[in-house]
């Protein structure tokens, strides 16, 4: 007979997890109800309690009680509503597997009154840590590493930082995983650079998880809610990981932005490049470029790429990424994208295509007005916030651009976040300034009433011309 220990093991010998148990229960339920047609109106709904025990406190997965199809429909509806009258939404591209898609996991650490060390997420709107062993969205290798770090801390007597008293050392652990490369980076976020027995700690962690390729100590003595401090000390390996996306290799440092859902990112980037319709002759701008991903991928089909990004670490990675991929036609600038575009516009520079992928706050008028001056044929706007996207599209469509099509890409299953991409094309508006209106000289000798009639006719003529242009 199977004993309890064996019962708790999976086929691969690892201990059964919460999700294994839940999946088994779900499979049993599915088996039971296989031939029963779902009750009308209730189909595809599932109880949130069957999916995640942390849902209420975490608050991240607001769509946990919807089926994945329902989530996609809801997101598409929201995108359509937000972009109504600005751009037609052509569809919402969903994930093949909406679980464990996150390649970056941040875990906050705390100590309970009885001394037990817990790690997990902050309870919604607080700094109270909700213990989480594993999450539906997070990479399972990362979750396993975090659980083991928790046990090691106890044996190494590493103190957990207490925000109220200011005592202790460890605040967070961040794990980043290269889904394509398999490389794994562990970042131990501490208030001080002095980590007792750090070599032995690293050795013990690597023994448990030989898949870890680098371990970094990040020093964060800030009092705000930023997870990472500015200083990184490499304890093992190269201090960064590499991952592959759309045929390029990318270097990811602890501080750099890298999309958290690499599978959907590949689909999104491929769409961005295809919407741009590059022929090899274009001068391309990649604004808000992060570690250079979109511009580097586009550079294979463009004459030249100019990329701008505010975060200096990301720019450093971007430069390395260009070298790593032997790409020579991309230049990187560390600057505010708006200020950079203004200076390009002032110098009378031009661009054929602009890719822009700003943070949630969207772009700004300095940037957008300079896009108009630079006058690219196409703008491909990638956005993680439909509301700021709508605002920025309104600006561009009032200033000579037509928003042709929008697509949603679901990067964040189970949450309400919506990623989207929009193609804008430049209207041939300059021609509008040169519409020839033929008037006979004797028509100019008019009574006031007649002049109004002629003016109205000209206005209609121009409006009709504008309509045809667009
Ligand atoms: C949504 S991310 C996109 C990054 C990149 N395109 C990608 O797909 O990985 C937005 C990027 O904008 C950068 N950023 C934020 N504010 C900026 C600004 N004012 N000027 C330039 N870059 C900025 C952030 O550091 C971040 O790398």
Local structure of 45: helix, strand or coil = coil
pLDDT band at residue 385, thresholds of 50, 70 and 90? very high
Q: Model-level pTM greater than 0.80?
A: no
Known binding-site residue numbers for S-adenosyl-L-methionine: 259, 288, 309, 357
Distances (CA, A) of 34 to 27, 38, 65, 232: 10, 10, 20, 53
Question: What string of DSSP letters covers 32-75?
Answer: HHTTSPPPTTTTT---GGGT-TTHHHH---TTTTS-HHHHHHHH
pLDDT at 449 exceeding the cut of 50: no
Known binding-site residue numbers: 259, 288, 309, 357
How confident is the model at residue 21, as a pLDDT?
43
The ipTM estimated for the assembled molecules is: 0.99
pLDDT at 17 exceeding the cut of 50: no
How confident is the model at residue 209, as a pLDDT?
98
How confident is the model at residue 127, as a pLDDT?
85
pLDDT band at residue 124, thresholds of 50, 70 and 90? confident
Which H or E run includes 201? helix 198-208
* Spans of all domains in the chain: 104-244, 261-427, 432-469
User: Among residues 195, 186, 252, which one has the least CA distance to residue 219?
Assistant: 195
Length of the chain: 470
Range 104-244 has CATH code 3.60.20.10: no
pLDDT band at residue 50, thresholds of 50, 70 and 90? low
Rounded to an integer, the average pLDDT of 324-353 is 96
Q: How far apart are CA 411 and CA 408, in angstroms?
A: 9
User: What is the strand order of the sheet 104-111 is part of?
Assistant: 129-131, 117-122, 104-111, 170-177, 184-190, 214-219, 231-236
How confident is the model at residue 200, as a pLDDT?
97
User: 117-122 and 104-111: which strand pairing?
Assistant: antiparallel
How confident is the model at residue 2, as a pLDDT?
37
pLDDT band at residue 59, thresholds of 50, 70 and 90? confident
Ligand 1 in reach of 293 Cβ (< 6 A): yes
Taking the centre of ligand 1 as the mean of its atom positions, its distance from the CA of residue 303, in whole angstroms, is 23
How confident is the model at residue 36, as a pLDDT?
28
Taking the centre of ligand 1 as the mean of its atom positions, its distance from the CA of residue 260, in whole angstroms, is 14
How confident is the model at residue 378, as a pLDDT?
98
- The β-bridge partners of 243 are 250
pLDDT at 296 exceeding the cut of 80: yes
Ligand 1 in reach of 257 Cβ (< 6 A): yes
Burial class (CB in 10 A: 0-12, 13-18, 19+), 426: middle
Distance of CA 441 to the CA centre of its chain: 62
pLDDT band at residue 276, thresholds of 50, 70 and 90? very high
How confident is the model at residue 18, as a pLDDT?
33
Taking the centre of ligand 1 as the mean of its atom positions, its distance from the CA of residue 392, in whole angstroms, is 16
CATH architecture of the domain with range 261-427: 3-Layer(aba) Sandwich (3.40)
Cβ atoms 269, 289 nearer than 8 A = no
Mutation pick for ligand 1 pocket among 246, 255, 287, 290 (CB with most ligand atoms within 8 Å): 290
How confident is the model at residue 395, as a pLDDT?
98
Mutation pick for ligand 1 pocket among 104, 228, 294, 309 (CB with most ligand atoms within 8 Å): 309
């Amino acid at each position: 007979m199977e004993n309890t220990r064996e019962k708790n093991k999976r086929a691969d010998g690892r201990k059964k997890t919460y999700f294994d148990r839940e999946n088994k229960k779900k499979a049993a339920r599915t088996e039971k109800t296989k031939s029963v047609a779902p009750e009308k109106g209730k189909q595809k709904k599932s109880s949130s309690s069957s999916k995640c025990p942390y849902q209420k406190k975490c608050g991240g997965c607001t769509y946990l009680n919807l089926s994945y199809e329902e989530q996609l429909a809801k997101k598409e509806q929201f995108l359509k509503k937000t972009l109504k009258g600005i751009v037609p939404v052509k569809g919402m591209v969903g994930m093949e597997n909406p679980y464990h898609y996150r390649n970056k996991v941040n875990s906050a650490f705390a100590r309970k009154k009885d001394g037990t060390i817990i790690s997990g997420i902050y309870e919604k709107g607080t700094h109270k840590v909700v213990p989480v062993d594993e999450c539906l969205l997070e990479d399972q290798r990362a979750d396993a590493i975090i659980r083991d770090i928790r046990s090691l801390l106890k044996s190494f007597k590493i103190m957990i930082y207490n925000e109220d008293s200011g005592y202790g050392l460890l605040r967070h652990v961040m794990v980043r995983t290269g889904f394509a490369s398999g490389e794994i980076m562990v970042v131990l976020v501490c208030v001080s650079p002095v980590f007792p027995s750090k070599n032995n700690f690293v050795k013990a962690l690597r023994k448990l998880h030989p898949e870890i390729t680098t371990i970094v100590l990040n020093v964060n003595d800030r009092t705000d809610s930023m997870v990472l401090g500015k200083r990184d000390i490499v304890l093992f390996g190269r201090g960064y990981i590499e991952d592959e996306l759309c045929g390029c290799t990318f270097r990811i440092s602890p501080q750099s932005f890298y999309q958290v859902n690499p599978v959907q990112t590949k689909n999104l980037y491929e769409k961005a490049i295809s919407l741009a319709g590059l022929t090899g002759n274009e001068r391309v701008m990649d604004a808000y470029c992060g570690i250079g991903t979109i511009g580097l991928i586009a550079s294979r089909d463009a004459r030249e790429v100019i990329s701008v990004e505010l975060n200096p670490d990301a720019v450093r990675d971007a430069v390395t990424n260009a070298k790593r991929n032997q790409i020579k036609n991309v230049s990187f600038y560390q600057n505010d994208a708006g200020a950079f575009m203004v200076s390009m516009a002032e110098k009378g520079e031009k661009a054929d295509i602009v890719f822009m992928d700003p943070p949630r706050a969207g772009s700004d008028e300095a940037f957008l007005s300079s896009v108009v001056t630079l006058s690219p044929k196409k703008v491909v706007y990638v956005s993680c916030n439909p509301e700021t996207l709508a605002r920025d599209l309104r600006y561009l469509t009032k200033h000579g651009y037509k928003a042709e099509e929008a697509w949603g890409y679901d990067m964040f299953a189970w949450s309400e976040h919506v990623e989207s991409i929009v193609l804008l094309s430049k209207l041939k508006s300059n021609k509008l300034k040169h519409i020839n209106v033929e008037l006979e000289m004797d028509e100019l000798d008019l009574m006031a009433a007649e002049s109004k009639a002629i003016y109205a006719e000209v206005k209609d003529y121009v409006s009709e011309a504008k309509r045809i242009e667009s």
